[in-house]
Chain A
Amino acid sequence: MDNLRFLFAAYAAVWALLFVYIVVLSRRNRALEKEIEELRELLQRRARQ
């Protein structure tokens, strides 16, 4: 039963790293989408001037 903590540690490590990567990816994509919107608006504003 002592090995249960090793089993728990392994699965916790897998889930923690996967979760962190998914959060990083999701935040990165949101930031890029926002930057695209801002650049498009800037280009449209300049084109109108």
Chain B
Amino acid sequence: MSTRRQSIDLVLGPLTGLVMLLAIFMVFVYVPSDRVQGIIQRIFYFHVPLALMTFAAFGLVAVASALFLWRGSRTWDRLAHSSAEVGMLFCTLVLVTGPIWARPVWGTWWTWDARLTTTLILWLIYAAYLMMRSVSGPGDQGARYAAVLGIVGAVDIPIINRSVYWWRTIHPAVLITREGGSGLSDPRMQATFGVCFLAFLLVFLWLLLVRNDSARLRDAVEELRQQALMQASS
């Protein structure tokens, strides 16, 4: 195991665990229930940070992909591929926790609402990106095609963000209300949301670094295989 990987595991792992434990404590013990939605609103403390991390992950895919196309460095391609995989996990969790909240509140698991539909489209775009990566092999050509998809796919992120204003939708648009009612009106709710956001930011960074390490190891394996083949043929 590399020294870099050891320091990731030694520092970021326990720190993430501690902040996540604090987040769980705040969600289940500290924070008061929402006056309108009741206990089910507590799903938002994980659902919203997961959605924000999904946007960060796929945004990073677009930036790293653009840098890969520009500079041609495998480092950027590895980062884009790693961020896409972690982003897929987070996006899947958003699409799982959302319907679980919607069932008791809206009375249905799923509706073709603008925000839900555009989020599902985002999931499908990056599923296609990962499928393209898995079938394209170790060469640069597949990585270049996938990079273009990674950049184009990120256009959906601002559309998701603005969807609640552009179209008629039942998805909640405002996170913090000052007038009371539903929303993070209580300072304890805002503090809980802040800690949960930090917890998922750390989870994202930790998973991204470990996944990026995995991509680096895979490249090293490929290089050694090529050396072994050349040695065998000479």
Residues of A within 8 A of B (CB): 1-4, 6-7, 9-11, 13-14, 17-18, 21-22, 25-26, 28-29, 32-33, 35-36, 39-40, 42-43, 46-47
Contact = CB atoms under 8 A, between A and B. Distances in A.
Contacts of A46: 228, 231-232
A8 to B, nearest CB: 10
A49 B40 CA distance: 68
A27 to B, nearest CB: 10
Contacts of A3: 38-40, 104
B227 to A, nearest CB: 6
B104 A10 contact: no
Nearest to A30: B1
21 contacts: A3-B39, A3-B40, A3-B104, A4-B39, A6-B103, A7-B39, A7-B42, A10-B43, A10-B100, A13-B100, A14-B50, A17-B89, A25-B214, A29-B214, A32-B221, A33-B217, A36-B220, A36-B221, A36-B224, A39-B221, A46-B232
Interface stretch (B130-138, B146-154, B163-171, B205-213): B205-213
B214 A28 contact: yes
B90 to A, nearest CB: 9
Interface residues of B, number: 35
Given A10-B97, A17-B93, A42 B221 contact: no
Nearest to B234: A46
A10 B47 contact: yes
Contacts of B43: 6-7, 10-11
A29 B77 CA distance: 18
Interface of B: 1, 5, 38-40, 42-43, 46-47, 50, 89, 92-93, 96-97, 100-101, 103-104, 203, 207, 210-211, 213-214, 217-218, 220-221, 224-225, 227-228, 231-232
Contacts of A6: 40, 43, 100-101, 103-104
A7 to B, nearest CB: 6
Nearest to A13: B96
A43 B39 contact: no
B97 A13 contact: yes
**Pairs A-B, 10 closest by C-beta atoms:** A32-B217, A39-B224, A3-B40, A10-B100, A10-B97, A10-B43, A13-B96, A3-B104, A29-B214, A46-B231
Given A7-B43, A32-B218, A36-B217, 6 more contacts: A3-B40, A3-B104, A25-B207, A29-B217, A32-B214, A47-B231
Contacts of A40: 224
